[in-house]
Structure 1
Amino acid sequence: MDKNERRSMIKVRGGFSERIGKPTCAVTIQLDEFDDRTRIFISNLLFDFLQITFQNDAQFRKQPYGNTPVPLSSDFCKNLGQDVFSFRNHLQGGYVYNWVDFYTSNIENALDNAPYNEILDLLEYICNWLFAKTNSCSEHFQRSFNTLFQQEYVGYRFISKRIVPITDEIEMQEIEKACQTPFEGARAQLQKALGFLSDREHPDYKNCVKESISAVESVCETIVGSDNGATLGKAVKHLEEHGLKIHSSLREGISKLYGYACDQGGVRHGEGEVESTVTFEEAKLMMVTCSAIVNYLVSEYGKYGAENA
């Protein structure tokens, strides 16, 4: 056989082939397509994760009341069949799915052949199903797939049970931390912003920016009290009175976020009055920036402000 006719069969990341400039695995960020190796790795990880979960049904299942006679694995297959694959569930009472057969026929086939976005839809659905049906499994699920995504150069990560197009580890950590802030208003607004950014069908970058900046505004208002003013620019001026010693230039920079939101097309205006020109890159930048500011303000308030409040 001529050497040019030989097909690639060995795919080792970071191996000899990659070092001599003949990579057999993806070496650029995978955004709009996943290679065969990545698809197989996703399938292997998902199968192993589900197998461990279902084998420990009694340990992991959430049981708010009574006993549940139907295996967790059968509930999983029934829910995915209806909600994800749009199957008819005209089954007799007491029917129990064989989850391995279901996996091979449906999930594995989808992971091998579906577009990348539908694979991410499937993983996101399963993550949220695990959150609703089990104890703590969804957290491990997210960590496991984030590790795989990093290893395979996949340009997406799980953050708060959503898959978002973020490729920088530090950015991801800032958003994750901010989405868990104890400041309830800011937490809700950042989670909404994340939803607008991560919606692959109908992303709303304008409202992602709006909610991100509103989260900063909410933290400032919580610290200084709502009576001191309802806008970010006014609230920032009172932070030092409540123990937060922030450099004047940084304080001014935070204050100018409000001015940016008012000036940027459509962000602080009524729907349809001004056409928004916010791009994904701009929305992502603002969400990361605002998340970092929220984390900074909460941290500083915890160190200095709370005792002076």
Structure 2
Amino acid sequence: MTVENIDRSKMTFEQAEGVHPLPRQLKLREVSPQLRAVLWDFVYSLLSGSSRDGNIVGRWAYILRDMHVQRFHRMADEFRPNAQRVFPDVKQVFAGGSYLEIFGFLEWALRHPHCPHDFAYQLDKRLRQCQAAYCVVNQDTISPISSEEERATIERAFANLASTEFNGARQHLKLAAQQATAGEWSACIRESINAVESTVRCIDPKAQDLRPALATLERQGTVHGSLKEGFLKLYGYASDEKGLRHSLAFDGVAKVDETDGLFMLGACASFVSYLINKGRAAGLIKE
């Protein structure tokens, strides 16, 4: 990048002068000093806004008390909403916690009944700002992403699964994203495939796997035979690899890694949307 074509409005003076490095996409499991600071500023502002006479009140009092008991498994009578006690404890999560502790805290808050209505949007906005390798999907789940295209694919899948009839598939896809964030790639692939199978049963309630549903779509003329065979081969890989479909029996045996997991999460999310739209086009799924 030459001096003539850089956009100085999108970088600091030091970056434009070549003294500081340009911002980069963070890797999975990486939490930069900037991301730690920005996330703590976000949570600190919310807690400060909920502080009255030295105590945390309102939504965040409920969230933190339930977190004290249900997440950290501490005794209920030991919880104190005193701001001077709460602030250092929560700050330590962001200042010194691992990526699991940080995103675990945030995801737990996302799923709490008293979570502020715009918490997911504001959190995702900050993850984008810091170029984190994670995003918020479905308003309540933190998922790893490898690109903006993959983000759009996963978000589209959750939007397509919004109907009550797809609740099972939605839960499996949510679990797949959760397992991916935890780095449990075998479980991520398993749940991704489960989301596909659950969607399949909405097309053909008697189907036990993908083949009958694709055969139904092929007969309806909505899926080409060669494309159907390609889907079945990909499905066969995920079904045959030890540890993916039978984790209790083969835990730790499956030869899958981060690349496999992220690919299958994105592929299955895209496939779920494909199946739903094809099923609706064929009249097999109601709008």
| Normalised TM-score (structure 2) | 0.77
Is the aligned partner of 1:42 residue 2:39?
Answer: yes
Q: For residues 189 and 78 of structure 1, do their structure 2 counterparts lie closer, same or farther at Cα, with a shift above 3 Å needed?
A: closer
Q: 1:233 to 1:112 in 2, by over 3 A?
A: same
Q: Retained in 1: the 8 A contact 2:36–2:94?
A: yes
Residue identity in the other structure for 1:223:
I
* Offset of residue 277 of structure 1: 0.9
Q: Does 1:133 align with 2:114?
A: yes
| Structure 2: 5+ residue stretches without partners | 1-8, 52-56
Q: Is the 8 Å Cα contact of residues 218 and 224 (structure 2) preserved in structure 1?
A: no
1:173 aligns with 2:152: yes
Structure 1 CA distance, aligned partners of 2:172 and 2:218? 24
* Distance apart, 1:165 and its partner CA: 2.4
Change (3 A) 1:280 1:305: same
Alignment match, 2:195: 215
Q: Is the 8 A contact 2:134 2:145 kept in 1?
A: yes
2:208 is matched with 230
Report how far residue 168 of structure 1 moved.
Answer: 1.7
State whether structure 2 residue 217 is matched by structure 1 residue 239. yes
Give 1:78's aligned residue.
65
Distance 2:105 2:264 in 1: 28
2:132 alignment partner, one of 128, 140, 154: 154
Matched letter for residue 239 of structure 1: L
* CA distance in 2: counterparts of 1:108 and 1:269, whole angstroms: 40
Question: 8 Å contact 2:193–2:268 — kept in the other structure?
Answer: yes
CA distance in 2, matches of 1:73, 1:211: 32
2:229 to 248, 252, 257: 252
1:186 to 169, 174, 178: 169
Maintained 8 Å contact 2:141/2:174: no
CA, structure 1 residues 22+82, in 2 after alignment: closer, same or farther (shift >3 Å)?
Answer: farther
Could you say which residue in structure 2 is the equivalent of 1:59? none
The equivalent residue for 1:305 is 283
Tell me how far apart the structure 2 counterparts of residues 270 and 121 of structure 1 sit (CA, whole Å). Answer: 23
Partner of 1:265: 242
Count of paired positions: 268
User: CA contact under 8 A between 2:146 and 2:262: conserved in structure 1?
Assistant: no
Cα distance, 1:288 vs structure 2: 0.8
C-alpha change, 1:25 and 1:144, in structure 2 (3 Å) is farther
Q: Summarize the Cα distance change of 1:47–1:244 in structure 2 as closer, same or farther, 3 Å threshold.
A: farther
Q: Secondary structure at the match of 2:249?
A: coil
Percent of pairs identical after alignment?
A: 25
- C-alpha change, 1:29 and 1:13, in structure 2 (3 Å) is farther
> Are the aligned partners of 1:81 and 1:89 in contact in 2 as well (CA < 8 Å)?
yes
Distance 1:104 1:170 in 2: 37
Q: Deviations over 1:46-85 (max 9, x none)?
A: 2233455x48xxxxxxxxxxxxxx7444334433444556
Structure index of larger Rg: 1
**Are 1:122 and 2:113 counterparts?**
no
Deviation (angstroms), 1:124:
1.9
Aligned-partner Cα distance in 2 for 1:307–1:153: 38
For 2:254, the equivalent position in structure 1 comes to 276
**Residue 244 of structure 1 contacts residue 301 of structure 1 at CA under 8 Å; is this kept in 2?**
no
CA offsets 1:153-177 (integer angstroms, 9 cap, x no match) = 2212222423232232221232233
Where structure 1 has 5 or more consecutive residues not aligned to the other structure, the ranges are 1-11, 56-69
User: Counterparts of 1:232 and 1:307 in 2: how far apart (Å)?
Assistant: 16
Change (3 A) 1:22 1:302: farther
Structure 2 counterpart of 1:29 = 26
Q: Letter of the aligned partner of 1:145 in structure 2?
A: L
Match of 1:58 in 2: none
Q: Partner of 1:106 in structure 2? A: 89
Question: Aligned pair in 2 of structure 1 residues 301, 278: CA closer, same or farther (>3 Å)?
Answer: same
| Worse overlay, 213-222 or 40-49 | 213-222
